[in-house]
């Protein structure tokens, strides 16, 4: 069925003219055809998108293969072997230190998050207890008033029942009016008791708020501790003369590095091996890290009120780990 035929049949249907079963079937086919065209177009768009991604991936794979081929050719030269081993061993020290900093940041962030969540829940519970105490005080007062009015009403009703004779007509009238007025007050008091009981139940069953994430102060505290930890690692490796050599492996390719002759490279590999073991087995000095963090907190300045990473210039020597990006520290810092 052509598009024109389909539109004519649809127009006839909208005009209220009787449509045959065959026309109904054709209209259904027409609608299905339109939906299929939409789906086919969507599939075609997805195919083009996947084809583009495949081309990008093929390009990236080709570049990696070229790099591997060049590296194999380079490592095939005997005179470059020891230099390459020294280079990659120094890279291993960098990765170990970077991994240590990243794990330290993740664990510290978890601890601070748990502490802030506990503080949030404690604050919520304190506020809820205070609100419950206020509602309970109002509820007690409302119940006392309602009970007092009920007792007075019963006494007045008994008095009214005891007034006999026409000579008590005016007294009965005044007493009846007082009873009616008090009945309105009893209804209001009962309604207030009911409302307060509902409010109390609502407060008691309230759920704690969702935790929206670490506060600004919390993220700043984590970042300062991470910078302190990175500074401690840099100083430890600087004491062995390896800190700058290790960092240079992130700035230069193996082809551009030079560590001297065979003896110098072997000695450097031994030092790197010891440093790698030291970094992996190092136990954090909690007291030293606290002292470093407090020193940084006292000195830290931020470019903006919402910034979580301090200005490197405000941190003194510790700012080097930010300026020179020791241990990929920015990857571990919280934003």
- Which tens digits make up the pLDDT trace of 225-272? 999 999 999 999 998 899 999 999 999 888 788 888 888 989 999 999
Phi-psi region of 213 (alpha: psi -120 to 50; beta: other; left: phi over 0): left
What are the tokens at 320?
A: 């080097």
- Mean of all residue pLDDT scores within the chain: 86
pLDDT of residue 290: 93
Residue 109 has pLDDT above 90, yes or no: yes
pLDDT of residue 56: 82
What are the tokens at 313?
A: 């210039």
pLDDT band with cut points at 50, 70 and 90 for residue 170: confident
pLDDT of residue 90: 94
Domain limits, the chain: 3-73, 80-119+214-332, 121-204
pLDDT band with cut points at 50, 70 and 90 for residue 31: confident
Rounded-to-integer distance, Cα 219 and Cα 334, Å: 6
pLDDT winner (highest mean) among 53-67, 155-169, 220-234, 280-294 = 220-234
Write the CA distances from 83 to 69, 260, 289, 292, integer angstroms: 18, 8, 35, 36
Residue 129 has pLDDT above 60, yes or no: yes
In tens, the pLDDT along 173-221 reads 888 888 888 889 999 999 999 999 999 999 999 899 999 999 999 999 9
* C-beta of residue 323 within 8 angstroms of C-beta of residue 237: no
pLDDT of residue 9: 56
pLDDT band with cut points at 50, 70 and 90 for residue 10: low
Q: Mutual orientation of helices 3-14 and 21-75 as an angle, nearest 10°? A: 130
pLDDT of residue 5: 58
CATH, domain 121-204, list 1.20.58, 1.10.3470, 3.90.25, 1.20.1250: 1.20.58
Least confidently predicted of 9-13, 35-39, 233-237, 250-254? 9-13
What are the tokens at 120?
A: 């949030």
What are the tokens at 161?
A: 């029942």
């Amino acid at each position: 069925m052509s598009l024109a035929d389909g539109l004519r049949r649809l127009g006839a249907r909208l005009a209220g003219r009787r449509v045959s079963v065959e026309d109904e079937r054709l209209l259904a086919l027409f609608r299905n055809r339109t939906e299929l065209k939409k789906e086919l177009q969507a599939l075609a768009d997805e195919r083009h998108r996947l084809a583009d991604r495949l081309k990008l991936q093929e390009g990236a794979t080709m570049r990696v293969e070229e790099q591997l081929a060049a590296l194999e050719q380079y490592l095939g030269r005997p005179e470059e072997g020891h230099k390459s081993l020294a280079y990659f061993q120094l890279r291993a020290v960098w990765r170990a230190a970077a991994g240590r900093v990243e794990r330290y940041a993740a664990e510290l962030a978890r601890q601070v998050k748990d502490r802030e969540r506990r503080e949030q829940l404690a604050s919520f519970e304190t506020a809820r207890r205070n609100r419950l105490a206020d509602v309970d005080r109002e509820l007690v007062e409302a119940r006392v008033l309602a009970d007092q009015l009920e007792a007075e009403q019963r006494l007045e009703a008994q008095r009214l029942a005891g007034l006999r004779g026409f000579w008590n007509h005016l007294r009965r009238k005044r007493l009846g009016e007082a009873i009616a007025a008090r009945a309105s007050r009893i209804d209001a008091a009962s309604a207030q008791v009911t409302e307060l009981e509902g409010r109390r139940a609502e407060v008691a069953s309230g759920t704690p708020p969702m935790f929206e994430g670490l506060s600004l102060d919390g993220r700043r505290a984590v970042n300062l501790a991470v910078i302190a930890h990175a500074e401690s690692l840099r100083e430890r490796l600087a004491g062995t003369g390896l800190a700058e050599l290790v960092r240079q492996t992130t700035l230069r390719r193996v082809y551009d590095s030079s560590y001297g002759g065979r003896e110098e490279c072997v000695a450097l590999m031994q030092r790197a091996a010891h440093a790698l073991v030291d970094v992996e087995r190092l136990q954090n000095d909690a007291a030293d890290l606290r002292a470093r963090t407090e020193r940084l907190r006292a000195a830290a300045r931020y470019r903006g009120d919402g910034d979580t990473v301090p200005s490197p210039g405000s941190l003194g020597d510790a700012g080097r780990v930010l300026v020179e990006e020791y241990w990929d520290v920015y990857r571990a810092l919280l934003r």
